């Protein structure tokens, strides 16, 4: 994930507790973590491990000191520091959860190449080198391999088996590390992994730039600096809590470089030079390389994770397509980013689940996964998917994800801003709903605040935007029976505009009888990328155009008496940057390029704007 101003202080406080995990902004860590257990039961040493090209990576090793036997190595690699540094300094927790230290592992934490106390040059989303001709051809796969090889030869009391895990950016390094894996690597758990920064993770969705998230990350963790001079976590001073105000006053997207970054953030500068899914972004996509994966893989994702739920789903799918022999499973919980490793997860934002959802995952899934693969027979008995059903608030298991069976259902946008299940057939049902989308007055993504990607925005009441004239809401009748939806939500909209580009944001909402509007899933489609993310094309003013895209999977039951509600709007600010509504390279746009436009959604026979999903029993 790209951490945030409200989030990074908690990250740095809890790095010792979660190794490479990226904790949530919503729950600050303790000021004085209790390290007594680890001090009493583990010995620590710090080493520099040489890679094949001579670069040395700083590594902290924690070994059980008061129990006999051999132990598996459990490795995590992070760009966020393996602090606290020093042989005498210990974190509060080690491993993917609170029960791992007592279970007994040799924990290994490593600063990745070019970050903090490791040598070399850091590169965001390190491109994977499929062809390696010399010792100079290195990537995260080779660094992981070389680290494991050194550990097996130089750390006593290891049992010859290695596990690898990481959350968020750490999930990317875990994913990269299982490619061309060392034979001793038996189990990998990429959790909320970053997999593609353009197609769907936390810098872009469907080509639309995620402004607040990326700005914060690059201002805090993307500034120039290597080795000990590398720092991460000082919040950017916005001078206000009003994100809409700040980012509007910043001006056009291209103004951020001159006003704030001034060439000091290579990652930001690179992004601003690559406004399409070109070779730069494609080289940083890890999913095409997950082939012939030999370790067992447990993928973890949270449905309320605004950052990298996409990465978890797409990694699981890619393994199924490209590495079908891999022993793989996925966990989909009702969690914010990293919440499964941080607290009991009884709630997310304003949503209550009536149980400690993370406790189930820790006790019944992730610890048994590593215990079986690294200590037992090496065989792990498991379902293909654990998924938490929101609405009914219960865990379920499946032999595939999305689950088999059920029936595809369409929800049509109808006249009078209604939702209907039957396709419109009467020519008289044809109609248009329109609004003025003004970049000077964009629709906010939260009721207040929003200087960053608020970690729980998906779990907040959506009524705050219901009265705006530039938000069109379609409401269904009260349900007469429960409706359970599993898998992706696929909007198909027939749209037109007076501009030559535009964004269409679609939100599927569960409206409770008391009026609470629960966001089940929402996403944005940048119209110029409707046909290709590599070759954008303008809209023709006034011409009806079909927009079709997929939103990430849900597993949600709309209860009897609730209503389905769909909101459509032209902006979602500053979660998503403003679209000038003029066909241009938005990263280089000028203030004069931003213009108001009338946006329309067309409905009726031949123009059936709708949402498509699968209903299961």
pLDDT at res. 617:
85
List, for residues 559-608, the tens digit of each pLDDT value: 999 999 999 999 999 999 999 999 999 999 999 999 999 999 999 999 99
Residue 41 has pLDDT above 90, yes or no: yes
CB 511 within 8 A of CB 478: no
459 and 584, same domain (yes or no): yes
180 and 68, same domain (yes or no): yes
pLDDT at res. 32:
52
Q: 578 or 10, which is more confident?
A: 578
478 and 336, same domain (yes or no): no
Residue 69 β-bridge partners:
none
66 and 189, same domain (yes or no): yes
Mean pLDDT computed over 40-48:
97
CATH at residue 68: 3.40.50.1820
Residue 385 β-bridge partners:
330, 398
Residue 610 β-bridge partners:
412, 492
Residue 286 lies in a domain: yes
pLDDT at res. 496:
98
Q: Tell me what the pLDDT averaged over the chain comes to.
A: 92
Residue 231 lies in a domain: no
Residue 214 has pLDDT above 90, yes or no: yes
Q: Tell which of 398, 419, 445 closes a domain.
A: 398
441 and 301, same domain (yes or no): no
Nearest to 79 by CA among 129, 128, 19: 19
481 and 547, same domain (yes or no): yes
In sequence order, which ranges of 242-381 are alpha helices (DSSP H)? 243-250, 255-256, 266-272, 279-283, 309-322, 357-361, 367-374
pTM: 0.94
Rounded-to-10 torsion of CA 269, 275, 280, 283: 130
pLDDT at res. 251:
96
353 and 479, same domain (yes or no): no
Residue 12 has pLDDT above 50, yes or no: no
Residue 613 β-bridge partners:
409
Residue 221 lies in a domain: no
Residue 66 has pLDDT above 50, yes or no: yes
Residue 252 lies in a domain: no
369 and 420, same domain (yes or no): no
414 and 496, same domain (yes or no): yes
Q: Tell which of 371, 398, 425 closes a domain.
A: 398
pLDDT at res. 26:
34
Residue 185 has pLDDT above 70, yes or no: yes
Residue 227 has pLDDT above 70, yes or no: no
List, for residues 352-400, the tens digit of each pLDDT value: 999 999 999 999 999 999 999 999 877 788 999 999 999 999 999 999 9
List, for residues 404-455, the tens digit of each pLDDT value: 999 999 999 999 999 999 888 887 778 999 999 999 999 999 999 899 999 9
Residue 159 lies in a domain: yes
Q: Tell which of 398, 430, 462 closes a domain.
A: 398
Residue 247 lies in a domain: no
CB 327 within 8 A of CB 296: yes
In sequence order, which ranges of 29-166 are alpha helices (DSSP H)? 36-41, 100-103, 140-154
Sign of the torsion formed by the C-alpha atoms of 536, 537, 541 and 544: negative
CB 554 within 8 A of CB 615: no
pLDDT at res. 225:
60
Sign of the torsion formed by the C-alpha atoms of 92, 94, 100 and 105: negative
pLDDT at res. 14:
40
605 and 513, same domain (yes or no): yes
Residue entry with tokens 């950017």 = 236
- pLDDT > 90 in the chain, percent: 87
pLDDT at res. 235:
83
**Residue 524: which domain range?**
407-616
177 and 91, same domain (yes or no): yes
Residue 49 lies in a domain: yes
Cα 302 from chain centre? 8
Mean pLDDT computed over 607-612:
97
CATH at residue 463: 2.60.120.260
434 and 512, same domain (yes or no): yes
pLDDT at res. 72:
98
Residue 258 lies in a domain: no
How many domains is the chain partitioned into structurally? 2
pLDDT at res. 222:
81
């Amino acid at each position: 994930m790209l951490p945030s101003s409200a989030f990074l202080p908690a990250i740095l406080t809890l790095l010792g507790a979660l190794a490479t995990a990226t904790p949530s902004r919503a729950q600050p860590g303790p000021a004085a973590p209790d390290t007594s257990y680890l001090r009493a039961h583990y010995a620590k040493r710090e080493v520099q491990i040489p890679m094949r090209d001579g670069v040395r990576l700083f590594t902290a090793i924690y070994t059980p000191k008061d129990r006999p036997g051999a132990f598996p190595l459990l490795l995590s690699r992070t760009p966020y520091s393996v602090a606290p540094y020093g042989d005498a300094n210990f974190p509060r927790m080690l491993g993917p959860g609170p029960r791992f230290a007592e279970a007994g592992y040799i924990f290994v934490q490593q600063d990745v190449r070019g970050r903090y106390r490791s040598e070399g040059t850091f590169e965001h989303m390190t491109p994977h080198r499929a062809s390696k001709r010399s010792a100079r051809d290195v990537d995260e796969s080779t660094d992981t391999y070389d680290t494991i090889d050194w550990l097996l030869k130089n750390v006593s009391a290891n049992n010859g088996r290695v596990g690898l895990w990481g959350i968020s950016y750490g999930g990317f390094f875990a994913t990269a590390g299982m490619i061309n894996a060392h034979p001793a690597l038996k189990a990998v758990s990429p959790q909320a992994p970053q997999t593609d920064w353009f197609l769907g993770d936390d810098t872009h969705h469907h080509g639309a730039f995620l402004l607040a998230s990326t700005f914060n990350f690059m201002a805090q963790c993307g500034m120039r600096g290597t080795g000990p001079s590398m720092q991460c976590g000082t919040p950017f001073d916005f001078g206000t809590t009003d994100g809409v105000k700040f980012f509007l006053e910043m001006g056009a997207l291209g103004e951020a470089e001159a006003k704030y970054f001034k060439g000091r953030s290579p990652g930001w500068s690179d992004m601003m030079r690559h406004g399409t899914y070109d070779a730069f972004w494609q080289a940083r996509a890890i999913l095409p390389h997950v082939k012939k994966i030999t370790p067992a893989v447990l993928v973890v994702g949270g449905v309320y994770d605004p950052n990298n739920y996409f990465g978890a789903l797409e990694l699981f799918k890619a393994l199924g397509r490209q590495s079908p022999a891999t022993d793989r499973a996925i966990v989909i919980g009702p969690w914010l980013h990293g919440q499964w490793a941080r607290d009991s997860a009884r709630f997310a934002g304003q949503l209550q689940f009536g149980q400690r959802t993370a406790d189930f995952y820790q006790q019944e899934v992730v610890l048994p996964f590593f215990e079986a693969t690294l200590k037992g027979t090496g065989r792990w008995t498991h379902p293909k998917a654990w998924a938490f059903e929101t609405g009914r608030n219960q865990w379920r298991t499946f032999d595939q994800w999305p689950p088999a069976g059920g029936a595809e259902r369409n929800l049509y946008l109808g006249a009078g801003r209604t939702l209907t299940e039957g396709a419109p057939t009467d020519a008289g049902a044809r109609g248009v709903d329109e609004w003025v989308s003004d970049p000077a007055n964009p629709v906010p993504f939260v009721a207040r605040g929003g200087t960053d990607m608020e970690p729980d925005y998906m779990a907040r009441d959506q009524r705050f935007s219901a009265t705006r004239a530039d938000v069109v809401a379609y409401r269904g009748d009260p349900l007469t029976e429960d409706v359970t939806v599993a898998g992706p939500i696929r909007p198909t909209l027939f749209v037109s505009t007076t501009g030559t580009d535009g964004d269409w944001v679609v939100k599927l909402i569960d409206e409770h009888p008391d009026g609470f509007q629960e966001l089940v899933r929402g996403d944005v489609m940048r119209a110029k990328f409707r046909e290709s993310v590599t070759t954008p094309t303008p809209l023709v003013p006034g011409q009806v155009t079909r927009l079709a895209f997929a939103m990430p999977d849900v597993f949600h039951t709309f209860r009897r008496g609730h209503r389905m509600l769909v909101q459509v709007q032209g902006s979602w600010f500053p979660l998503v940057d403003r679209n000038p509504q003029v066909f241009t390279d938005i990263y280089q746009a000028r203030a004069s390029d931003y213009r108001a436009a009338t946006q329309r959604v067309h409905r009726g026979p031949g123009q059936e704007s709708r949402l498509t999903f699968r209903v299961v029993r």
